[in-house]
Chain A
Amino acid sequence: MALKHGIYILSLSLSLILVGPTLIWAAPGDSALIKSRQDKLRDLGGAFKAIDDELKKRNPDWDNIILPNAQTVQSRSSYLLTWFPKGSGPESRVKTYALPAIWQKADDFNKLGKTMQSEAAKLSQVAAIRDPASLKAQTIALGKTCKACHDPYRSPDYEKENDE
């Protein structure tokens, strides 16, 4: 009797240990992943904006603003393509701007991501020269790679209530 009871408890515990995490992982895991992706993209956008804003000033601060932010843009962008694992789209039921096309046209998406990475690397190189006109031109080149990917693979602003 005691043995039967023991086996019962053992199998129950075992199934809880094995199945439990899978149940917990399904939703909150994706949610954390998507939230973290949004945070990283926002940091990327913020660093990019800081450079853009600084370039509007008569005497841009290269050492404290432009160079470190260009470094942030470059380092963040190198991880960009790892932020979109399968299952982290709208099917996760987490609010996201990411469209299913990202995974349906993965080759094109990855190609655009790599173009963005190379333009971001170039941004760092151009920033080091400290010429406002050249850097402005490079921010436009980089911004176009953001748009090239956002237009087909990101929901337009007006379809969502807010950025999260």
Chain B
Amino acid sequence: MHGKLETVWRPLVWDIPTRIMHWLLVAFIGICWWSGVNNELQYHIYSGYGALWVVVLRLYWGLVGSSTARFANFVRGPRAIWTYAITLHRRDTPHSNGHNPLGAVSVVLMLCTVLAVIGIGLFAVDVDSLYSGPLSGYVSFRQGRHLAHLHYTVFELLLGVIALHISAVIFYYAYKRHNLLSPMISGRPKGEIAHIPTLEAAPGWRLLPGALLAAGVVWVIDNLFYYW
């Protein structure tokens, strides 16, 4: 979209679904963290399901969503990652529309770690036997208690990945003068930037099958495993 001045070009970087999924995941992880350490596990299970729903939907959107959300468009091999990483100290590197090769590593790492935390949590046993994971019936009390601890240990790893992600955003802002936060809120970069292509938006209706699929995954995990 062109503004009044010819030089102002603010392409769309993130579509609305990607932005909403990003901030929903932030909210769900926040609730999970709070409810986990305060032993308010009735909220913990629901927020965990919420996070699972978002991640499954994000994986789906990574296959059929808008151009910058698609894994095929941003996940790069080791050589591309290395080529990008050695320019990290330079301030004049151009904006890329969407994830850069190093950011892509962070996205994949983030999704995998969140899935690992959720996956272990499904089998974790609550010491009060009130809010054990929905699949805890498949493990013994002792195994499930070990998994509850592992659930937290991997969560600590996730906190490390989140810290790395936030540090990178601060580094880009402070050192490279690239505001990465603004596009994740408004969808567009702030200020005047060089010409980069805008995203190819996927139609909104395409989100619906993914939302239903993700809800189906959560429902099956919550209900179906015990009905045979």
Chain A residues packing against B (C-beta within 8 Å):
42, 45-46, 48-49, 52-53, 56-58, 139-140, 142-144, 146-147, 150-151, 154, 156-158, 160-163
Which residues in B have some Cβ–Cβ distance to A below 8 Å?
A: 36-37, 39, 125, 127-130, 132, 136-137, 140-142, 144-146, 148-149, 152, 226-227
> Is the pair A53, B137 in contact by a Cβ cutoff of 8 Å?
yes
A-B contact count (CB 8 A): 66
Task: Please name all residues of chain B whose beta carbon is closer than 8 Å to the beta carbon of A156 when the two chains form the complex.
Answer: 37, 39
Measured in the bound complex, the distance between the Cα atoms of B39 and A144 in whole Å is 12
Q: Considering only CB atoms, which chain A residue lies closest to B150 in the complex?
A: A162
Closest to B148 in A: A157
- Chain B nearest CB from A27 CB (Å) reads 25
CB neighbours of B128 from chain A (8 A): 143-144, 146-147, 150
Q: Are the C-beta atoms of B152 and A46 separated by less than 8 Å?
A: no
Query: A163 and B129 in contact (CB under 8 A), knowing A45-B141, A57-B226, A156-B37?
Result: no
B226 touches A56 (CB 8 A): yes
- Nearest Cβ on chain A to B29's Cβ, whole angstroms: 15
Known: A157-B148, A157-B152, A162-B145. 12 other contacts (CB 8 A): A42-B141, A45-B141, A45-B145, A49-B125, A49-B144, A53-B137, A150-B39, A150-B127, A154-B127, A157-B127, A160-B149, A163-B146
